[in-house]
Amino acid sequence: MRPYILAENNWKIIKDSSFDVAVLPWGACEAHNYHLPYGTDIIEADYVAAEAARIAWENGAKVIVLPAIPFGVNTGQFDVKLDINMNPSTQLLVLRDVVEVLNRQGIFKLIILNSHGGNDFKTMIRELGLQFPSMFLCQCNWFQAVDQKDFFENKDDHAGEMETSVILHLKPELVRPLSEAGDGAAKKFKITAIREGWAWAERKWMKVTKDTGVGDPRKASAEKGEKYFKAVTTKVASFFLEVASTDKDNLYA
């Protein structure tokens, strides 16, 4: 049993344990090109959370990783078979219930470890912060922790070189041959402001990509994935450690 993984522990251990921060991995269930599994975001969330928590725990952080939420916001992929959408309003209800439990039991810090680009918890954190003023709530997008350019030739948006490399490292038995993968070519908005990034609209996924991927996976490798995973989890662990050790009532310098 890893003492920082809730799902692996039992009441005998947990009832006498104390924790400074809880981590809630949050993924999505969605198609990832022809070669990666639907559970890619869930696998990444679980493994990044667990490894970062291990490092933080071994450095003195009392962190507990909760079971991953497997469904994310997939409103733009409504026509992709078995992409399971969880609306933001539903996510808020789920998150509120988790926060309520932690608040009641005296674990006053929660990190949402986000593993899916369609998830955005900022407005939820604002709303729940008013309802639970004793809680420190934050989100972390692990895939933004380190610069992809230091590890990969092609930028990954979805099921490209980075994600393929990570899953080749973590779960190679779930990856089909890269010769079967689509090239991940994707169309961009014609509207200039959206292309430049200072305006936003949701992409209708199957009008953008023919293979559900956005990013070329064909130069992926397990070796690249291992190096990237180590860099990411080391960085995320430092975040876990800082959150655990910082007084939630004295956060600003």
- Cα 20–21–27 angle (5° rounding)? 165
- In the prediction, which pLDDT does 164 show? 98
- In the prediction, which pLDDT does 156 show? 95
Does residue 82 lie in a domain region? yes
Does residue 253 lie in a domain region? no
Please say whether the beta carbons of 13 and 83 come within 8 A: no
- In the prediction, which pLDDT does 245 show? 97
Q: What one-letter code names the amino acid at 238?
A: S
* Domain containing residue 12: CATH number: 3.40.50.10310
What would the pLDDT profile of 11-37 be if each residue is shown by its tens digit? 999 999 999 999 999 999 999 999 999
Overall domain count for the chain: 1
Tokens of 213: 């991927």
Strands 109-114 and 136-141, sheet pairing: parallel
What would the pLDDT profile of 168-204 be if each residue is shown by its tens digit? 999 999 999 999 999 999 999 999 999 999 999 999 9
- In the prediction, which pLDDT does 174 show? 98
- State the residue range of the domain holding 210: 6-245
Does residue 149 lie in a domain region? yes
Burial 132-147, CB ≥16 within 10 A → b, else e: beebbbebbbbbebbe
What would the pLDDT profile of 95-105 be if each residue is shown by its tens digit? 999 999 999 99
Of all residues in the chain, the percent with pLDDT exceeding 70 is: 100
Tokens of 36: 């990666």
- In the prediction, which pLDDT does 24 show? 99
- In the prediction, which pLDDT does 6 show? 98
Does residue 250 lie in a domain region? no
Q: For residues 81-103, give the mean pLDDT.
A: 98
Does residue 27 lie in a domain region? yes
What would the pLDDT profile of 102-116 be if each residue is shown by its tens digit? 999 999 999 999 999
